[in-house]
Amino acid sequence: MREFDRIVFVGRAGNCREVMAAELLKQKPLWHRPEILSRGVSVLFPEPMNQKAEAVLISNGIQMGNFTSKALTEEDFGDDTLVITFETAIRETIETKFPKAKNLYVLTDITGDELEIFDPCGQEIVTYGLCYEAIEKTVTKLAEVLNEGDFFREVEAVPQEAAEQNGAEDE
């Protein structure tokens, strides 16, 4: 089973979906308890949590305190760090900004869901509530995947199988 010592959820501004996901995962039962963080790809200066996202968290019993967003940096990547985005577009932005990024996945690719989690920013508060519900369901699946470790075993097996096939072709 693959264990990560740190999980980083990444969105655009670092103060909405990624914070909700991080806080929800902190509440899930995990066999291995990693450090769970949130970051943004477009953070020019620290900002407080999105007010509507914070209101939704509070209505679900989660208090944030003095949160401020942080930018994703090169130091957020490593062999023991899992970096999770909500959209393919954000993953591609990260791959462009950080060519050596590793262990970078879209959340729904890990959980097997078809639809990526939408960005509620700029919408009505009810949309933030729907986003929270989608994140909660998907993060519950993520916790199961992390505990079982199957997804990461399959991902690690692919390069090894390719290397074995290339070695067989050379003979």
Instruction: List the chain residues with pLDDT less than 50.
Output: 158-163, 166, 168-171
CA atoms lying within 13 Å on the CB side of residue 118: 11
The burial class, CB within 10 Å (0-12 / 13-18 / 19+), for 121 is: middle
Q: In angstroms, rounded to a whole number, what is the distance separating the alpha carbons of residues 69 and 142?
A: 23
Kindly report the pTM of this predicted structure. Answer: 0.87
Instruction: List, for residues 21-55, the tens digit of each pLDDT value.
Output: 999 999 999 998 999 999 999 999 999 999 999 99
Question: Please, which residues have CB within 8 angstroms of residue 88's CB and are 6 or more apart in sequence?
Answer: 106, 116
Q: Where do the structural domains in the chain lie, given as residue ranges? A: 6-170
CATH 3.40.50.2300 fits 6-170, yes or no: yes
Q: In angstroms, rounded to a whole number, what is the distance separating the alpha carbons of residues 21 and 60?
A: 13
